């Protein structure tokens, strides 16, 4: 037999063995596998975002356009190396690594509040109440600012402790308050309120030295004000109907308004390790959307003529997705709720497209969307625990 007719048999190099171990067999240097590449893209995307937050100081501003340009260049160049898996994977993954860094830096710059001096003197603030964050005689409210004395460019939001005196979310008010920058962590390595406030676009926090008074509503934000008012009225109605003991928790689970939760109940949940139950996230979205999906599917499957001609899962998934979107809007669309909605949406859309609803690729797609919308969440325990738990469940399944 001629040498050219013998089967090709050679020792793989260490680099080829590494690629084969990471992306799975069969894989040769001439066979890029895009189906497995999608599992690694969100990983390097998240690593790039995390790399932005690792330094103790802010990276140089010129890195943002450099990262964006390099990302586009690398991903574009990868198209010319489809015949070589090693080069193709390298260019694509390096491109998304830089993309993660650039998205995190862009998000940080975009959320930056206007620069102005703060002092110990009270200033006049005009804006509409976006949410009541804590209850009591002097609750903590979040204001969407329209005017702030002493500056031509007011910040987007401030957080003030003040008595409501009959006002509620959606109302435009005026008050005088002492405002300062949000405080840093109480202990090194602890929760950083200033960092959370930055990405929530809350530039200043403080306390009021006057009562709230009605102000002329500014133009715009009509839909946002109406939604905030509706959420508050619904929460108030739930608390009134359900009673003092359970009304606050019920309102928090439905509308995201935790101002009515009694301090002793909140402390009990915190001590028992169940404080996260009050934050609408994956558990609540799964129960709500999953309950709607199975109820609609059961109802449609019960109609014999329809069930024989159509797949009842697809309309059930569509209705569940609409319901989940409504729940997202009604609950205030906090970051954990957005993350849960994205993951639920990927599963439900997979059902509608006849794809496997629970797969690592679906999880990877959800991670990409979440990191793009909120890259700062990659260094938070909620993001890491959510995706780690879901990945473990899918792997066991």
Domain 123-221: which CATH number of 3.30.70, 2.40.160, 2.30.30, 2.40.50: 2.40.50
Distance of CA 379 to the CA centre of its chain: 12
pLDDT tens readout for residues 238-297: 988 888 778 888 888 888 888 888 888 888 888 888 877 888 887 888 899 999 999 999
**30-37 contacts: CB < 8 A, separation 24 or more?**
30/83, 30/84, 30/85, 31/85, 32/82, 32/84, 32/85, 32/88, 32/89, 33/85, 35/361, 37/89, 37/92, 37/93
**CB-CB contact of 384 with 371 (8 Å):** no
pLDDT the model gives residue 317 = 93
Tokens 């979205």 found at = 285
Q: Would you state the structure tokens that stand for residue 1, as one six-digit string?
A: 């037999």
Closest by CA to 365, choosing from 40, 33, 19, is 40
According to DSSP, the residues that pair with 141 across neighbouring strands are 132, 160
For the chain, the structural domain boundaries read 13-110, 123-221, 278-396
The enclosing H or E element of 358 equals: none
Strand pairing partners for 174? Answer: 126, 213
Query: What pLDDT shows up at residue 8?
Result: 37
Q: How confident is the model at residue 17, as a pLDDT?
A: 55
Is residue 206 within 8 Å of residue 152, measured between CB atoms? no
DSSP for 280-302 reads -SHHHHHHHHHHHHHHHHHHHHT
- What pLDDT digit, counting tens, does each position of 70-122 carry? 767 766 666 665 666 667 777 778 888 888 888 998 899 888 887 776 666 78
The CA distance from 386 to 36, in Å, is: 22
Q: What is the mean pLDDT of the chain?
A: 81
- Predicted confidence pLDDT, tens digits, the chain (397 residues): 443 443 333 444 554 555 555 545 444 444 555 567 788 888 999 998 998 988 878 877 777 777 777 767 766 666 665 666 667 777 778 888 888 888 998 899 888 887 776 666 788 999 999 988 876 667 889 999 988 887 878 888 999 999 888 888 989 999 999 988 888 888 877 788 888 888 888 988 989 998 899 888 877 778 888 998 999 999 889 988 888 778 888 888 888 888 888 888 888 888 888 877 888 887 888 899 999 999 999 999 999 888 888 889 999 999 999 999 999 998 888 878 888 888 888 889 888 888 877 778 888 888 888 899 889 989 888 788 888 888 888 888 7
Instruction: Enter the pTM of the model.
Output: 0.76
Q: Are 50 and 376 in contact (CB under 8 A)?
A: no
Cα 341 to Cα 258: distance, rounded to the nearest angstrom:
20
Both tokens assigned to 286 = 């799964």
User: What is the distance between the alpha carbons of residues 165 and 162, in angstroms, rounded to a whole number?
Assistant: 9
pLDDT of residue 119: 66
């Amino acid at each position: 037999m001629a040498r050219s007719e013998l089967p090709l048999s050679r020792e793989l190099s260490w680099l080829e063995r590494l690629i084969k171990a990471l992306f799975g067999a069969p894989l040769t240097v001439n066979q890029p596998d895009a189906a497995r590449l999608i599992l690694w893209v969100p990983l390097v995307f998240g690593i790039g975002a995390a790399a932005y937050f690792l330094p103790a100081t802010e990276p140089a501003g010129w890195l943002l356009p450099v990262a964006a340009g390099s990302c586009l260049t690398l991903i574009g160049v990868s198209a010319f190396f489809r015949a070589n898996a090693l080069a193709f994977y390298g260019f694509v993954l390096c491109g998304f690594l830089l993309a993660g860094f650039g998205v995190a830096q862009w998000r940080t710059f975009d959320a930056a509040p206007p620069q102005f001096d703060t002092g110990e003197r009270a200033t006049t603030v005009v804006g509409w109440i976006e949410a009541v964050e804590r209850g009591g005689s002097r609750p903590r409210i979040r204001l969407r600012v329209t005017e702030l004395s002493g500056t031509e460019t007011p910040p987007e939001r401030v957080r003030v402790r003040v008595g409501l005196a009959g006002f509620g979310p959606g109302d435009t008010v005026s008050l005088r308050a002492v405002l300062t920058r949000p405080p840093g962590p109480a202990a090194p390595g602890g929760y950083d309120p200033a960092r959370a406030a930055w990405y929530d676009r809350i530039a200043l926090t403080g306390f009021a030295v006057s009562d709230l008074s009605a102000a002329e509503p500014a133009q715009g934000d009509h839909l946002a004000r109406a939604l905030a008012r509706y959420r508050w009225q619904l929460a108030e109605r739930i608390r009134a109907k359900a009673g003092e003991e359970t009304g606050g928790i019920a309102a928090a689970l439905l509308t995201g308004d935790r101002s009515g939760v009694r301090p002793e109940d909140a402390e009990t949940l915190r001590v028992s390790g169940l404080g996260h139950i009050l934050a609408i996230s994956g558990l609540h979205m799964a129960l709500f959307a999953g309950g709607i999906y199975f109820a609609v599917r059961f109802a449609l499957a019960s109609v014999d003529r329809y069930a024989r001609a159509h797949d009842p899962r697809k309309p059930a998934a569509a209705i569940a997705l609409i319901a989940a979107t409504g729940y997202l809007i009604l609950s205030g669309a906090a970051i954990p709720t957005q993350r849960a909605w994205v993951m639920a949406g990927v599963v439900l859309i997979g059902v509608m497209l006849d794809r496997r609803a629970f797969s690592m690729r679906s999880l990877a797609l959800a991670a990409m969307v979440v990191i793009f919308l909120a890259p700062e969440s990659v260094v938070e325990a909620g993001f890491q625990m959510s995706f780690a738990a879901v990945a473990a469940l899918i792997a066991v399944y």
